[in-house]
Structure 1
């Protein structure tokens, strides 16, 4: 039974979420946000500007997305908007189009290009607007029930019932307000409040004045009832509960003045303004459509969806519901359930930022209009140009802030196609309006039953962000309200209804449905054969009769993310190791020779196609030309089609190639609605990614081929034959080897280095720009002071390195000089300069040089010239080839990672009975304790596939086909390979999967059979060239006088407590003393030790600064601590610690 029989639906476009979201922003988000600020009025309200957002227009971008990256600009479009300026004093009206701002555009691949850098907007997972009923425990461990009103914009409101069953309303920076006073202030009478109450007795406890209970005399006065600035709390003075709305508003006004005013004024109008400002103004408080829907659903209200402010009825219903929760009729809400969490997509985040820009524009309009409209009035005419009142700076600035500083706008991870795809499908609970990683508890981070089919339980970062940053599953989508949905097939009497459309359910929709997972076996007619099946209903798991089942998941892959679904035999791996495998696939470096995995899961081609790293034919046609830069396909194109030529695809008229077709065919073609066009597909070669990996597109077709629309015609740097290729299939042996693979170290064969299997190309960018200094303008030149001709040999006449030059560390890339102050010379210095012919320098060398340890070739130059044809800015692309070496990190897909410890000659590697040497030797102890047995299945099935010349696509959770399916498949294929090849060692019934290996050094057989197979191994981006670092002397921090930290600053390595223990264990006392003194912050000691080294005298250590700080801190605690010296007479003398 094949995977296609399990799920007849195709997996959705993985980047559809980003594109649909941005389309929603263009179609409705912009219009909604502008309408919200419509119209703009000046302070006197004599003039107003009215927008017509439905008629806005976006112009075609000035440059393409590809050119924006090359030129370091943003891929954006200006938004034109019709506006109307109305003078209410004279009745004059003026209509004009204005530019509102420059809006960043999303590329076809789902990211933005800002200042030449691809960036992505992360989807944010936040609490959904609405009302939530929860409980907490006070200091005496008593339950306190409360309700939170959460809105899209505005202040949160909390309704809380204390331990004495009194109900309060809480707001930020406001004292507690009795809930009855708040309800009466909204205009609801006491009679109506009590008549509609579910428990009038509890509500009566909130009547003023509060009744004192003998057993709780100490607590009869609430915490809020305290004196503030010698003002008597108004609640303490009340002898009778207010009955009218005016009295309640006065009391409300008095309460809100407690913390801000020196004198309380009982003013009902003040209370009314407070309510309008907090809950009644659409600009300051907005529940949102979702918030209003959820309030109506939860509280049983029928308030129109168009009214999105909080009403007295909402609060009244919430108080009644809260009392039922407190009495146990209803349960508290689960805030971690996905029905209570929604996704803020890029559309919503951009819309919010547009609102920020429009708010600033409104303020700017009011400030400008004060002066400008006075001038208009004097001239008795409205300005000829409304644009003088408007500016693009507020909106442009808001977008610039968001993309530059928001934690939800991130530098796109382009290490490989999977990294890019995963980054665009990421969900983050962090950021503005989200949770904080410091305060987030286990409940927020944990896996919830409602995550099934929506959020992957496996893929999440390790460390502080664990559980706070997640990935969407393979089939999940996001609806227009931001709730995550997943598809199901409906079940009728145990039969799967494949013919019916898929049903997409949110976590709230599926609460009362009985659902079974996708790894259930069913026959060819779609009937589930088992009578009772494991099912899920209302977050509970049980076995249910098949006749009572409602839905079945569409695939076993439904519950996991894209990266996790690429791990074969996933069900045999521990979840922690599967997590590492998912994350490390995103860190794989593209190699020069890409190779697809022999054992895959079937989604490899989908990943590279959706992410856009491969080139697909848009129309069917005949391949007329193939080069490394361009593919030309002559295609039939509909005459009425409108084509917009992009840098990757251009269209031209076909000429000679039509002769290859017969006359009869061409005569039919003339009558058809199609025309014959020559389609040029431009390929990208050696383009740098954000992570400095190399992006290349390679043709996989040849001239004369016929191509259908949608066929892949060119591979990317991480794909082979249209499938994702992150590593290589190599022979693996699980055995110890002379201790070189101890503790996850890896032993590899020299073949991997010699044949460039793991060689990768890395492209670095170097930029230099001349600046104006106070002594003059810098200059790019080949005339550099005190630099020999040998160092200048690679530079042209302008002082810029030539393309194709091989460079090493310290070589000059761009010669540059900076003007300096002329040094004043004394008489004897001038004489000396004249004798030796030396000139007093007026410039210093500030050339751009190659970093130490780098060996590379100049790939490309981008030079910006001034009007005088002098180079002003130079951008250099340097390509570096990195072979695999000791210290590099390698990993499999099952979380089995390690560092290369030794590269062994091929002849010394263990070899198979047929003489084939191993490529890599792993430690067998890395399997049992880590419980990632999937790697063993993969390597054994890979060995069979190697000798049968077969590739396999194995879906996870294959137990639906029968018990021990993975083992049966692996052993049967090994046995088949033995029969077909005649190699008996491939399958030994006594120890299946194990082989007698021979030592390459001695030729002798090892004592025990060894597990041998072919595994897919990746080279990760953690390369030793970027990590290894040494420092003898270097820069020190100006304040602490301690060595700087980090490789980029040429810093030192701090030794922690455990490292010092190791040094102590060896008794290295001098090293320990140096760690605290001359290697750290003993400034005087540095000079002394240099003198001692030069003169050969004994080295004496000084006193570290940390000791002096310790003495001063003890003295600050009033402890008489001092440093004393014994003089010649045996007396103690106090020494100043600063002089030590």
Structure 2
């Protein structure tokens, strides 16, 4: 099963290509935007601005710090541009080139969890399901009962072209939904000048020899073109004349040997073209160009060349018309063409093939396209959406660049002068801040997070609207099998428009959703299941027969049943195993993550399953989570892939564990994971009661202990709604189905008092309460603990700034932040006059504007923050910051010391001391100290009868911790060579190690 966040993370990585060398980047994402826009040159070709490459800087803060500070987690984008100044005499030569790194604004960066931190809040970009570029065929019924057929070519960028039939069997073209005109006029404008050229393109021309016995077969057919006497230029018969015996005799007498005709009675393409030519006033390319130009531009063309360039620009100019790789891929698939995918403009062959398909529909040989088929709809992931936004930003920037190129003087201009990065920043910020697809992250629990990131929406810019979307587009389609979940969708107006990606589904490079299937091999009239898994798109799947994953197989993988239930398109036939091409990979592959977490889902009613899968996402993380007794096996996958449970990044041993961090010692540590440079320790920080977007709490609990060995990928800490590395949304409670004095009538329930007493379903919610202090017209507001007409008891929890202290217990009505605001000039009441008379003018100047706890709130203050425009750090904050950084430094220092000591132990273990010598006399007290102390004496040492030994024992008791350690058998080991032995601050000797 792929990573459940791969849809988001892989797409963003392809967009940025951050870890790819600058000269090895593929032409996708950000790279493709720059390559398509540059090089630029001004109107006189004095300057040429070329793109070299781009690179990304480092983020200013970590994602956690960005949430804390309320800023965007982003990286600076810098682009290397080269400005060439051309030679005045020869514009193809450069007299000067200026290379410069230009700042293009900041790009929000995706976090490890697949979210974006925008202004301190985590947001998710939802993938969009919309109609794919390409050609679509449809049919309608006219009020008189005639079937009308339509083909529409939809590009990625450029003009839409419609081809349609009418009740008289004529073909018309409509460009950009403007006026319609005969198709033959468009074909003539595109180069098919004569009738013969047009008929030949459709393969409708038949040739008959006049002396041939089969000449009678041409009677009733129509002449393709005028038949002219080559000598005199006399026209015998005009094109379009019906062939009969008289025509044949006349032509024989004139010495004509053969004629070319089209059958307007039996050949549908000839019939449609002949009918259309009857409505076409033009007879050659020049006339057609002129009229098409008039229809589209509402005016006569200045000359023929202008009209021709205009038509070519509509269809064949890469700058104006772009089918996209997806559109070209779909046209190639539909018409079996061999046009390279990189060639993203229309070709003449494309237009002819579309018209031929339309003719086949009129014949009744082809049907209309199913717009709800997933072969006709594709997913726009985060990478493609950001690519489009950058294209918009750069196209807006082009106008500024051209203006500055034409205005600036040659000597002073640089690439930096031409670029205005604010345009890019504005477009990107608008997209992340206001787009319908940029949504406030659902962080109620890990399942809600992962579901939000795997959501596929048909709404949004360029998509459907709730009002216009009918029943068909909302309904479950057979191509959703293994791609989109048929169960999980919202109730209400968005039903069917918002879906969830199926468990095993992936999105391919063209944006089409693919589902995995096991390939079956056929040997001696039997089918064998192989281990090879192939991903199929909806179009590919239509061509194969697929069996269920639970079809009976023997140990060799052979399908054992005589017949198996299979699937092809929307049918479920029972077929011979030999006819089957693929098998499903798992029974749950049709479901989304949330639906697949429901045990025995197959027994549930579909509507109740929909409600259940949606309600799982509303479960709040409990204080004491419990794994379910009955699960589906996906619980650990969801906990890991949601990044709620923390996994070890390396193999190693747990060095230390506390509530805030886990330290792992490993033999191989990548530089980016190492605690400090040149160490083999990895630090895993843990979250402690952090607030989420939905005010639930994220809290990590370690699952490991010191000296425990862990493997890379093993769960080392539980997160919210996790227990033992598995998703734990609720509790295993005993439920009795019985009436109880009417208290549980209908949907009411009775719960045990123990639930409340034992915190079975208790959860912690973290509310953030804000208060702004403004500079008003009447004067500045002020934070203070001295609030008029408020007792000292009510303000005893406030500090000198008027902010409640951390750790204080609060209930509704308690003052959280003390604030006073200046009063307006009003007539004082008698009481105020008295107060002013007693206390002076100040008593009436301010009024209480404090923030109090809302009704129903009861809890503990866990943190307070004060933000100021001009940062003034109070002594209290400074002290807190110093203590915090001292603590951080101490932890790192202790880790380094411990590591140094352990390395010294490893280095010196087993070496024997040369004895302890008296410092003053140089006399050796004990020659083989190592024999007596490290290996013979227990700890603590008993009093010895030898005075010298007692002295040594006392000296060892006085050694500091840096000077000796106990080994694994509780024996003292010296660490430092030539260590002075002290007793009562008197040096009694020196320990020398060899």
Q: Give TM class, smaller chain.
A: 0.7 to 0.9
**What's the counterpart of residue 405 of structure 1?**
434
**What's the counterpart of residue 247 of structure 1?**
287
Describe the superposition over 1:195-239 as per-residue Cα deviations: whole angstroms up to 9, x where unpaired. 222679766777799899xxxxxxxxxxxxxxxxxxxxxxxxxx9
Q: Cα distance, 1:36 vs. partner?
A: 1.3
1:395 aligns with 2:424: yes
Identify the match of residue 623 of structure 2 among 579, 589, 592: 592
Look up the SS of the partner of 1:110 in the other structure: coil
**What's the counterpart of residue 353 of structure 1?**
389
**What's the counterpart of residue 1102 of structure 1?**
none
Look up the SS of the partner of 1:86 in the other structure: strand
1:714 aligns with 2:704: no
Describe the superposition over 1:1107-1128 as per-residue Cα deviations: whole angstroms up to 9, x where unpaired. xxxxxxxxxxxxxxxxxxxxxx
Q: Cα distance, 1:280 vs. partner?
A: 3.6
1:311 aligns with 2:347: yes
User: For residues 378-457 of structure 1, what are the structure 2 equivalents within 5 Å?
Assistant: 381-383=410-412, 385-457=414-486
1:110 aligns with 2:114: yes
1:704 aligns with 2:707: yes
* Distance of aligned partners of 1:20 and 1:457 in 2 relative to their CA distance in 1, 3 Å threshold: same
**What's the counterpart of residue 977 of structure 1?**
none
* Distance of aligned partners of 1:498 and 1:80 in 2 relative to their CA distance in 1, 3 Å threshold: farther
**What's the counterpart of residue 685 of structure 1?**
688
* Distance of aligned partners of 1:691 and 1:266 in 2 relative to their CA distance in 1, 3 Å threshold: same
Describe the superposition over 1:538-575 as per-residue Cα deviations: whole angstroms up to 9, x where unpaired. 33220011122111111111111111111111111011
* Distance of aligned partners of 1:296 and 1:845 in 2 relative to their CA distance in 1, 3 Å threshold: same
Q: Cα distance, 1:85 vs. partner?
A: 1.4
**What's the counterpart of residue 9 of structure 2?**
19
Identify the match of residue 314 of structure 2 among 269, 272, 278: 278
1:320 aligns with 2:352: no
**Separation in 2 of the partners of 1:609 and 1:815?**
44
Q: Cα distance, 1:144 vs. partner?
A: 1.4
1:630 aligns with 2:661: yes
Identify the match of residue 474 of structure 1 among 484, 495, 503: 503
* Equivalent residues of 1:207, 1:241 under 8 A apart: no
**What's the counterpart of residue 186 of structure 1?**
190
Q: Cα distance, 1:251 vs. partner?
A: 0.8
Identify the match of residue 84 of structure 1 among 69, 72, 82: 82
Look up the SS of the partner of 2:732 in the other structure: strand
**What's the counterpart of residue 934 of structure 2?**
none
Greater displacement, 845-854 / 143-152: 845-854
Structural RMSD (CA): 2.9
Q: Report the TM-score, using the length of structure 1 for normalisation.
A: 0.66
* Equivalent residues of 2:183, 2:276 under 8 A apart: no
Q: Cα distance, 1:290 vs. partner?
A: 1.4
Higher relative contact order (CA closer than 8 Å, sequence separation 6+)? 1
1:734 aligns with 2:732: no
The answer for unaligned runs of 5 or more in structure 1 is: 1-10, 213-238, 371-377, 655-674, 875-1140
* Equivalent residues of 1:144, 1:160 under 8 A apart: yes
* Equivalent residues of 2:528, 2:559 under 8 A apart: no
* Equivalent residues of 1:489, 1:496 under 8 A apart: no
**What's the counterpart of residue 127 of structure 1?**
131
Describe the superposition over 1:367-407 as per-residue Cα deviations: whole angstroms up to 9, x where unpaired. 4444xxxxxxx996433643232122111111111111111
Look up the SS of the partner of 1:488 in the other structure: strand
**What's the counterpart of residue 602 of structure 1?**
633
* Equivalent residues of 2:529, 2:558 under 8 A apart: no
* Distance of aligned partners of 1:750 and 1:304 in 2 relative to their CA distance in 1, 3 Å threshold: same
Describe the superposition over 1:857-893 as per-residue Cα deviations: whole angstroms up to 9, x where unpaired. 1111222345572789x9xxxxxxxxxxxxxxxxxxx
Q: Cα distance, 1:827 vs. partner?
A: 12
Describe the superposition over 1:894-949 as per-residue Cα deviations: whole angstroms up to 9, x where unpaired. xxxxxxxxxxxxxxxxxxxxxxxxxxxxxxxxxxxxxxxxxxxxxxxxxxxxxxxx
Q: Cα distance, 1:364 vs. partner?
A: 2.3
1:46 aligns with 2:46: yes
* Distance of aligned partners of 1:734 and 1:244 in 2 relative to their CA distance in 1, 3 Å threshold: same
Look up the SS of the partner of 1:862 in the other structure: coil
* Equivalent residues of 1:336, 1:443 under 8 A apart: yes
**Separation in 1 of the partners of 2:391 and 2:781?**
43
**Separation in 1 of the partners of 2:106 and 2:445?**
31
User: For residues 885-904 of structure 1, what are the structure 2 equivalents within 5 Å?
Assistant: none
Identify the match of residue 513 of structure 1 among 544, 564, 575: 544
Q: Cα distance, 1:268 vs. partner?
A: 4.4
Greater displacement, 592-601 / 162-171: 162-171
Q: Cα distance, 1:785 vs. partner?
A: 3.9
Describe the superposition over 1:230-272 as per-residue Cα deviations: whole angstroms up to 9, x where unpaired. xxxxxxxxx97312222111111222355xxxx7678645644
Look up the SS of the partner of 1:394 in the other structure: helix
1:746 aligns with 2:749: yes
Q: Cα distance, 1:683 vs. partner?
A: 0.7
User: For residues 439-588 of structure 1, what are the structure 2 equivalents within 5 Å?
Assistant: 439-493=468-522, 500-588=531-619
* Distance of aligned partners of 1:379 and 1:833 in 2 relative to their CA distance in 1, 3 Å threshold: closer
Identify the match of residue 776 of structure 2 among 760, 765, 773: 773
Give the number of the structure whose alpha-carbon radius of gyration is greater: 2
Identify the match of residue 144 of structure 2 among 121, 140, 149: 140
**Separation in 2 of the partners of 1:798 and 1:550?**
75
Q: Report the TM-score, using the length of structure 2 for normalisation.
A: 0.76
**What's the counterpart of residue 70 of structure 1?**
68
* Equivalent residues of 1:165, 1:202 under 8 A apart: no
Describe the superposition over 1:719-742 as per-residue Cα deviations: whole angstroms up to 9, x where unpaired. 111110000011111122222222
* Distance of aligned partners of 1:164 and 1:644 in 2 relative to their CA distance in 1, 3 Å threshold: farther
* Equivalent residues of 2:184, 2:277 under 8 A apart: no
* Equivalent residues of 1:636, 1:676 under 8 A apart: no
* Equivalent residues of 1:19, 1:110 under 8 A apart: yes
* Distance of aligned partners of 1:566 and 1:496 in 2 relative to their CA distance in 1, 3 Å threshold: farther
* Distance of aligned partners of 1:116 and 1:748 in 2 relative to their CA distance in 1, 3 Å threshold: same
**Separation in 1 of the partners of 2:499 and 2:805?**
46
* Equivalent residues of 1:71, 1:116 under 8 A apart: yes
